[in-house]
């Protein structure tokens, strides 16, 4: 298999009649999915999603890096959205801020979800709704859309025909043979496209390490019903705000057991209202109630559906665990965490589970009950697809590096030549020329952080400072000196935050600072910045050697 272990240079000009594929996100990570396809000087974007941060203090979202396309916005024919999950549509508003008339193409539900999001950003998009079996000419790209099954309705794969070759992108998919909505992945279409010829197969890698086949959604209905049967007081269900299938199962169980359901959280209410209005969510009569009316109901008649299954600190469930929500979780309450763990979120999720159990709640999650199944194809399903499609070249997408490697090995096992299985990272350029795909270079890509209302201004140095402040605390040392003589007239005044040690510990460093400044004066050092560096080195050596800490050290030298 070809990989990107070596440093790559900028790619050459695209060969005549060649097709170029560059992922700006989604490779080596679970989220931020965005792939750019180029042919005859025109661009087609497939998905444009966000990544939810784990160890990025103060950061709300992480976007794909648009630098590669920012000077070519007029070359973009459209953005094709495979489905409505945040990791595939969440960055669209930030791209449309740069050029608002880029057309959006997707299924009815997907477009409804992104339109609601764009409304909050005051953007009115150009959209084209498509459905499975539909074929559209989008500039030089002939796109055919194929039904695939996922954990959200109306998901689509896209087959892109160009004069330089064909590309089949699965989006996120699985092969549930008993889906709740009856809409299965169209393997007949996959086979037909395989007969026509798939030059490059972009395949979902998220579950490539998992053997066998992903459990059908219907198989977890009994487990959810058991939770309802045994719950003593309220049931609080946490899931993704776009997981229509899971919400449907909860609504059906609530009707069966005579409970009322309230939606908690703006995104949950918005998305499920859209799904219900479009007919994707079937709401039983007299089951839904406003959250404000919960106080009028007995606890054993209440179900809440909220966000926060990934331990997001500002989501409803985390706020409940922190006693920072109007819903007061306590003994007898049952928390049903109806989502799988996104890799990287484990610590946050288990911390949330511990916090809820500390409050006396019974927490039911995938680790102790079968209350969730994945929305992604496992190894058996991927093998099935490779054998049906018989692609000439394969580029695993959507997953951490271990997922991409596992997916690549599956492709090779079915007969795809090892040299035609391309393991790429974000920014790596893959060119398809005369039926053969090859890595030809790389373009710079990085993380783009959304930090409150700011986009792209937070950088790694700032995040490093935030982590130091969070993990190690900080020390400020203020010294006032005579501007004429250089003598210290006040200080050093030492203040600390984030230290368990008492102030008396830092009294031991005061003479060392005074001596270091005196030595600097003797050497003729008068520059304020240089004196601050002297203080920083002196204090850093002390806390590093004596306290085994590496705090942020802020020296201040004032002239009197």
For the question of residue 376 being annotated catalytic, the response is yes
Which among 376, 398, 431, 451 is annotated as catalytic?
376
Does residue 374 have a known ligand-binding role?
yes
DSSP H or E run through 134: none
Cβ neighbours of residue 156 under 8 Å, at least 6 residues apart?
82, 83, 106, 107, 110, 130, 131, 132, 145, 146, 147, 148, 171
| Torsions phi, psi for 42 (to 5 deg) | -110, 155
Give the DSSP letter of residue 230: H
What's the Rg (C-alpha) of the chain? 28
Distance set, CA 471 to CA 56, 371, 497, 549, 552 (Å): 13, 35, 11, 10, 10
Cβ pair 126, 102 in contact under 8 A: yes
**What gap in Å lies between CA 407 and CA 417, rounded to an integer?**
14
Distance set, CA 298 to CA 226, 249, 262 (Å): 20, 22, 13
Instruction: Tell me if the bond preceding 492 is cis, omega within 30° of 0.
Output: yes
Q: Report the 10 Å Cβ neighbour count for 516.
A: 19
Q: Which residue(s) pair with 496 in the sheet?
A: 475
Tell the residue number behind the tokens 């090892």, with chain if given. Answer: 418
DSSP H or E run through 172: none
Does residue 375 have a known ligand-binding role?
yes
Distance set, CA 379 to CA 148, 186, 203, 373 (Å): 17, 18, 12, 15
Which among 204, 333, 431, 451 is annotated as catalytic?
204
Tell the residue number behind the tokens 């792939």, with chain if given. Answer: 35
Burial 442-459 (b: 16+ CB within 10 A, else e): bbebebbbbbeeeebebe
**What gap in Å lies between CA 168 and CA 197, rounded to an integer?**
10
Does residue 339 have a known ligand-binding role?
no
Cβ pair 401, 198 in contact under 8 A: no
**What gap in Å lies between CA 165 and CA 437, rounded to an integer?**
10
Structure tokens at 342: 């996104």
Does residue 36 have a known ligand-binding role?
no
For the question of residue 243 being annotated catalytic, the response is no
Burial 1-33 (b: 16+ CB within 10 A, else e): bbbbeeebeebeebeeebbbbbbbbbbbbbbbb
DSSP notation for 253-315: HHHHTT-EEEE-SHHHHHHHHHHHHTTSS-PPTTTB--GGGGGGS-GGGEEEEES-TT--TTS
Does residue 58 have a known ligand-binding role?
no
Burial 375-394 (b: 16+ CB within 10 A, else e): bbbbbbbbbbbbebbbbbbb
**What gap in Å lies between CA 161 and CA 105, rounded to an integer?**
16
DSSP notation for 48-87: ---B--SS-TT--EEE--GGGTGGGGGGEEEEE-----HH
| Torsions phi, psi for 519 (to 5 deg) | -65, -40
By annotation, the residues acting in catalysis are 204, 376
Binding-site annotation: residue ranges: 372-376
Q: Which residues are annotated as a binding site for substrate?
A: 372-376
């Amino acid at each position: 298999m070809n990989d990107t272990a070596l440093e790559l240079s900028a790619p050459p000009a695209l060969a005549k009649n060649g097709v170029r594929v560059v992922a700006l996100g989604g490779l080596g990570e679970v989220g931020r999915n965005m792939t750019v396809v180029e042919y005859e000087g025109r661009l087609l974007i497939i998905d444009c999603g966000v990544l939810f941060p784990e160890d990025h203090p103060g950061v709300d979202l992480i976007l794909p890096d648009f630098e590669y396309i920012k000077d070519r916005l007029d070359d973009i024919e459209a953005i094709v959205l495979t489905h409505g999950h945040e990791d595939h549509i969440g960055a669209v508003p930030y791209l449309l801020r740069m050029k608002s008339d880029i057309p959006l193409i997707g299924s009815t539900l997907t477009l409804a979800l992104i339109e609601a999001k764009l409304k909050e950003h005051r953007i009115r998009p150009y959209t084209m709704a498509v459905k499975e079996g539909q074929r559209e000419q989008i500039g030089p790209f002939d796109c055919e859309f194929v039904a695939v099954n996922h954990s959200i309705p109306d998901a689509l794969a896209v087959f892109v025909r160009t004069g330089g070759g064909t590309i089949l992108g699965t989006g996120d998919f699985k092969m549930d043979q008993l889906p709740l909505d009856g809409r299965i992945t169209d393997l007949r279409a996959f086979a037909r496209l395989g007969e026509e010829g798939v030059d490059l197969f972009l395949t979902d890698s998220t579950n490539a390490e998992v053997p066998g086949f992903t459990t059908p959604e219907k198989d977890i209905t009994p487990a959810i019903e058991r939770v309802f049967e045994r719950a003593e007081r309220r049931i609080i269900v946490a899931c993704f705000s776009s997981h229509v299938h899971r919400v449907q199962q909860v609504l059906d169980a609530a009707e069966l057991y005579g409970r009322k359901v309230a939606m908690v959280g703006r995104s949950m209410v918005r998305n499920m209202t859209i799904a219900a209005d479009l007919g994707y969510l079937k709401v039983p009569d007299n089951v839904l109630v406003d959250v404000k009316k919960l106080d009028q109901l007995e606890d054993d008649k209440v179900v809440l559906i909220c966000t926060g299954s990934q331990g997001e600190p500002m989501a409803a469930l985390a706020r409940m665990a922190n006693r920072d929500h109007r819903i007061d979780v306590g003994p007898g309450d049952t928390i049903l965490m109806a989502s799988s763990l996104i890799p990287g979120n484990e610590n946050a999720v288990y911390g949330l589970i511990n916090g809820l159990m500390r409050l006396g709640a019974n927490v039911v999650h995938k680790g102790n009950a079968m209350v969730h199944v994945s929305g992604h194809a496992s190894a058996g399903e991927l093998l099935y697809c490779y054998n049906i499609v018989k692609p000439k070249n394969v580029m695993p997408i959507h997953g951490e590096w271990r997922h991409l490697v596992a997916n690549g090995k599956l492709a090779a096992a079915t007969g795809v030549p090892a040299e035609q299985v391309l393991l790429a990272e974000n920014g790596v350029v893959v060119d398809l020329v005369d039926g053969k795909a090859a890595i030809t270079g790389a373009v710079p890509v990085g993380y783009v952080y959304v930090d409150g209302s700011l986009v792209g201004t937070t950088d790694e140095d700032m995040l490093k400072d935030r982590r130091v402040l969070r993990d190690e605390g900080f020390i400020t040392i203020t010294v006032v000196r005579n501007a004429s003589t250089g003598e210290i007239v006040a200080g050093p005044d030492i203040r600390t935050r984030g230290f368990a040690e008492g102030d008396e510990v830092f009294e031991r460093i005061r003479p060392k600072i005074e001596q270091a400044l005196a030595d600097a004066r003797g050497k003729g050092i008068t520059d304020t910045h240089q004196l601050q560096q002297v203080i920083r080195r002196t204090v850093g050596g002390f806390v590093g050697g004596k306290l085994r800490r590496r705090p942020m050290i802020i020296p201040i030298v004032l002239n009197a």
